[in-house]
Structure 1
Amino acid sequence: MSDKTSVFLDDLAIGQEYQSQQYQLDKEQIISFAKQFDPQPFHTDEAAAEHSFFQGLAASGWHTAAITMKLLVGSLPIGNGLIGAGVDVQWPRPTRPNDTLRVVSKIIEITPSRSKPDRGIVTVECRTLNQNDDVCQKMLTKIVVMRRP
């Protein structure tokens, strides 16, 4: 997976930011994902969603998380891949049909391993934003990052 654009533990610095590409979400994607993985009426039925907590069709938070992961893979060039070691996720606002999502990731902590000198844990704050820069998902994730081979 590593190439000349890949980054490793030694290449990272607190405060570095990475920007993803954009992803356009539509009603059909929301309904299809929800029917498979989160079959609740406010995710699968426009009419029912109008009378729900969300007052309209909303993507499953897990759908937003899956899109976020896709965007992270394309924007965080970690040489050994994005190996998760823990995550805290919040959805401060719903993701809606026709939202265009992007992820801004910021390195907030780097902890070299004491017992395994070839790696460390990097804490990354990821904000998934819509086209209006509203935060649809906040994620604090810890990833295992290897040192440069």
Structure 2
Amino acid sequence: MSKSVYFEDLEIGDRLDFGPVSVSRDEIMAFAAEFDAQPFHLSDEAAAGTHFGSLSASGWHTTALFMKMFVAKMQAAGHQDASLGAMGIDELRWLRPVRPGDTLRGTSEVVEKKASRSRPEMGIVKSRVTVLNQRDEPVLTMMPITMFRTRPN
């Protein structure tokens, strides 16, 4: 395990690369059946008559795959010990469909940080996230706003 990374250790411009993860047809349909049962996420036939043309993952599935990759990297990099969760996400965009067989990876870059005025035990970090497919095409972008523990005294 890496040494713990606290709010004070993070700098504007710090990058964290994460992934890869591949997505299968069965995973796309299982996620959609439980969480986003729109027809174009459930079958090629239903998707054929839409702008998707064929089966595509739910944007929420793509976002969940980001989280899976990101948390694994955070744990490996020692960031998870100081993570206190997120306050929200700005500018979430699903830029292109994720298809069966796609392999995703991404990067997160710190773009803003500030100490909490009311909670001295934490700071707020805003990052720019981009998730790419195997063709280096962006499929998702967003700006998570997260809370990080400050270094214990």
TM-score, structure 2 as length reference: 0.91
- Alignment partner of 1:28: what SS? helix
Give 1:139 deviation, angstroms: 1.2
Give the 3 Å change call, closer, same or farther, for CA 82–95 of structure 1 in structure 2.
Answer: farther
Structure 1 residue ranges, 4+ long, deviating more than 6 angstroms after superposition: none
Of stretches 55-64 and 70-79 in structure 1, the one that deviates more from structure 2 is 70-79
Alignment partner for residue 80 of structure 1, among 79, 82, 91?
82
Aligned partners of 1:26 and 1:97 also within 8 Å: yes
Aligned length: 147
Give 1:41 deviation, angstroms: 0.9
Aligned partners of 2:82 and 2:150 also within 8 Å: no
- Alignment partner of 1:132: what SS? coil
Cα distance in 1, alignment partners of residues 66 and 5 from structure 2: 20
The match for 2:63 is 65
Structure 1: 5+ residue runs without aligned partners? none
Aligned partners of 1:46 and 1:56 also within 8 Å: yes
Cα distance in 1, alignment partners of residues 3 and 142 from structure 2: 25
Aligned partners of 2:107 and 2:131 also within 8 Å: yes
Aligned partners of 2:40 and 2:56 also within 8 Å: yes
Give 1:111 deviation, angstroms: 0.8
**Cα deviation 1:72-118 (Å, max 9, x = unaligned):** 10123242335011102110111111110112000000111112222
**Cα deviation 1:21-76 (Å, max 9, x = unaligned):** 20011111101100111001100011111111211111000000101011110123
The match for 2:101 is 98
Give 1:15 deviation, angstroms: 0.2
Give the 3 Å change call, closer, same or farther, for CA 14–100 of structure 1 in structure 2.
Answer: same
TM-score, structure 1 as length reference: 0.93
Task: Give the fraction of aligned pairs with identical amino acids, expressed as a percent.
Answer: 39
- Alignment partner of 1:20: what SS? strand
Cα distance in 2, alignment partners of residues 130 and 82 from structure 1: 29
- Alignment partner of 1:14: what SS? coil
Over aligned residues, Cα RMSD in angstroms?
1.3
Cα distance in 2, alignment partners of residues 100 and 148 from structure 1: 36
Structure 2: 5+ residue runs without aligned partners? none
Give the 3 Å change call, closer, same or farther, for CA 42–73 of structure 1 in structure 2.
Answer: same
- Alignment partner of 2:70: what SS? helix
